[in-house]
Structures are given as C-alpha cells and as structure tokens.
Amino acid sequence: MTGVIYQAIVTRHDNMNEESYVGLTENTFKSRYAGHMSNFKLEKHRNATTLSEYVWKLKDQNVQHSVKWKIISKAKPYSTSSKLCRLCLEEKYFIIHKPDMSSLNKRNELTSACRHRKKHLLCNFRHDK
C-alpha cells in the first residue's frame, strides 16, 4: 500500500503511558516500517525521527516498551496538475487537528516544504541524446 499516513503508538510498560507519532510515506508502508525498525536498532540512526529519538531514550533508560502501528489515512502525493501534495496536507491535518494522535511530532514539521514536489522540478529531468 503506497501513499499512506500512519500512526505509531509507543507504550511504556513501566507506567503504561502512551506517546504517538504521525508519519507519511509515498512508498509502501512496509518499506517505511522497515526504515523505522532500522532506526530503532542502529544507534547511528537514533536521531533520524522524533519517533526514533523517543524509542532510543526509552532504551537508554532500560524501559520496556512496545510500538503499535496503524494506517490512519491514504492520500496521493504531489500532483503537477493541482500543484498540491495531498499526502503532506493530510499529515499536517492530523498534526494540527488531532494533537492527541501526534504527541511526538515536532510542530516545525508544519512549515516544512513538500519533499515530494522536488522530483517534478524541471532541473531534475535529463535530456538524453
């Protein structure tokens, strides 16, 4: 499944507190999930996302935890005809309007430019002879 907005819910087993993270992927959820799992295992990727930062913080404190994943929405990435990225807009919607679903997300994510638009720019096309 491609073009999804997902949620990761991290539960601490010592006090059962939950923190949540909303993310997106233009690719398959399976590949993004694998990326997150790699971030959780390889210390060099501990700061890759706010989710991995939090998981590593728990690991450093020897706190047992679990992560539950769910796909919360599906959307199309950047379209050259509409000049909109529904995928980025949908993720921002959840961060703004459902803050309980995204307690780990940093609010500066809301002002970041769409990373899916870049591959459609003219400077990225090659003219092969």
pLDDT 10s digits, 69-78? 999 999 999 8
pLDDT of residue 73: 97
DSSP 84: B
Confirm if 98 and 69 have CB atoms less than 8 A apart.
Answer: no
Burial, 97: exposed, middle or buried (Cβ in 10 Å; 0-12, 13-18, 19+)? exposed
- Sheet of 2-12, strand order: 18-28, 2-12, 65-74
Q: Report phi then psi at 47, rounded to 5.
A: -105, 20
Q: Which residues pair with 79 in a beta bridge?
A: 84
pLDDT in tens, 20-45: 999 999 999 999 999 999 999 999 99
Percent of the chain having pLDDT more than 90? Answer: 74
The pLDDT of residue 2: 86
The pTM of the full predicted model, rounded to 2 decimals, is 0.85
Q: Where are the beta strands (DSSP E) in 29-127?
A: 65-74
Q: Strands 65-74 and 18-28, how do they pair?
A: unpaired
